[in-house]
Amino acid sequence: MQTEDRAAQIRATQIRATQIRAGDRRALARAITLVESARADHRAEALALLANLRTPAREALRIGLSGTPGVGKSTFIETFGLMLTGQGLRVAVLAVDPSSARSGGSILGDKTRMERLSRDPLAFIRPSPSQTQLGGVARRTREAVALCEAAGFDVVLIETVGVGQSETVVAELSDLFLLLLAPAGGDELQGVKRGIMEMADLILVNKADGDLKPAALRTVADYAGALRLLRRRPQDPPGFPKALPVSALAQEGLEKAWDDMQALARWRKANGHWARTRATQARHWFEEEVRRGLLAALQTEPQRGLMAGYGDRVAKGEITADAAAAEMLRLLGRKA
């Protein structure tokens, strides 16, 4: 009976995988729901599916996009996405956001955001899940990216609102990282954390249109100057990272930005950085999962009881914190 169950499950996984590879959007949406599920049986099915889809027919270009609310991310994704689908490219849009950091609802939950793109048969937009923990969101997004890649999307856009750690998560999931900024006075340059600037491959100063255009061009010049001061990374060809003006609304500068993204991707592929970065990212996520698993193990018995027991003894002064921790770790090592 058990063997029959297992055989049925393997068949179900194979059918799912075939549907996803064939570009079946409903199968893709269902698979993303599956990887979001916390149920143990769903988790097992999700892992089997991801293992089956491990080697996509070809790699997508994964583009991370970060920017504060109001900077024009959804407008940019809509016009940029439509420009790409207009060239016959298939585009998926995913979001990374701890929902606790948002005032209401999920980032892409509002269907009126990117309305035209969401109706485009070449596009697939997935709202962010209602999960609060960054670690959980990161895993789910990473797996959703893998599913979209297996489904043959040419470009996977991964969007995040700039809330602290989420940029790092997106950068670790992306081949290229874009930072979208609004025109500003020179003093606001300080507002962008150095760490985030260092992650960016392209800084796009949006709203370079109408009355805002002169300020946008000044902002581009300010950031171009700031980028020149950063240490050159091995994965950058001459001239990168760079700052460019764009107008998502007036649809200006988007072709230039896309040309630069493609040029950068080509250079990195030709120079071995593309594959090396992907390998480093895979190692990073493996280590993150192990760390997560170890932390989760501390929440279950008997580890939780051991922890509480040692904690009580430390509190009573029967044993020092360091000695108790060392003993606890030794016990964990023996169990592992």
With contacts defined by CB under 6 A, how many residues of the chain interact with ligand GDP?
16
Residue 75 in contact with ligand GDP, rule: CB under 6 A: yes
Give Cα 301 to chain centroid, integer Å. 33
Closest contact distance (angstroms) between CB of 249 and ligand GDP is: 3
Closest contact distance (angstroms) between CB of 102 and ligand GDP is: 11
- CB count within 10 Å of CB 66 equals 26
Q: For ligand GDP, which residue of 13, 74, 128, 131 counts as binding (CB under 6 A)?
A: 74
Closest contact distance (angstroms) between CB of 114 and ligand GDP is: 9
DSSP string, 178-235: EEEE----GGGGGGS-HHHHHH-SEEEE---SGGGHHHHHHHHHHHHHHHHHSPPPTT
- Which CB sits closer to ligand GDP, 50 or 254? 254
Residues 85-124, one symbol each (x = binds ligand GDP by CB under 6 A, - = not), give ----------------------------------------
Q: Where are the alpha helices (DSSP H) in the chain?
A: 2-21, 25-36, 40-52, 73-86, 115-119, 134-150, 166-171, 194-199, 213-229, 254-270, 273-298, 303-316, 321-335
Q: What is the rounded distance in angstroms from the CA atom of residue 16 to the CA atom of residue 77?
A: 29
Which of 16-24, 28-36, 244-252, 267-275 is the region at the interface with ligand GDP (rule: CB under 6 A)? 244-252
Closest contact distance (angstroms) between CB of 115 and ligand GDP is: 12
> By CB under 6 A, what part of segment 172-211 binds ligand GDP?
206-207, 209-210
Q: Which residue is nearest to ligand GDP (CB)?
A: 72
Residue 248 in contact with ligand GDP, rule: CB under 6 A: yes
- Which CB sits closer to ligand GDP, 73 or 139? 73
Q: What is the rounded distance in angstroms from the CA atom of residue 114 to the CA atom of residue 324?
A: 54
- Which CB sits closer to ligand GDP, 123 or 265? 123
State whether the Cα torsion 180-240-253-258 is positive or negative.
Answer: negative
- Which CB sits closer to ligand GDP, 71 or 176? 71
- Which CB sits closer to ligand GDP, 141 or 206? 206
SS3 of residue 94 by DSSP? strand
Q: Which residues, at least 6 apart from 79, have a Cβ–Cβ distance to it below 8 Å?
A: 248, 249, 251, 254
- CB count within 10 Å of CB 46 equals 22
> By CB under 6 A, what part of segment 44-73 binds ligand GDP?
67, 69-73
- Residue tagged 């995913």 (tokens): 94
- Contact positions vs ligand GDP (CB under 6 A): 67, 69-75, 206-207, 209-210, 212, 247-249
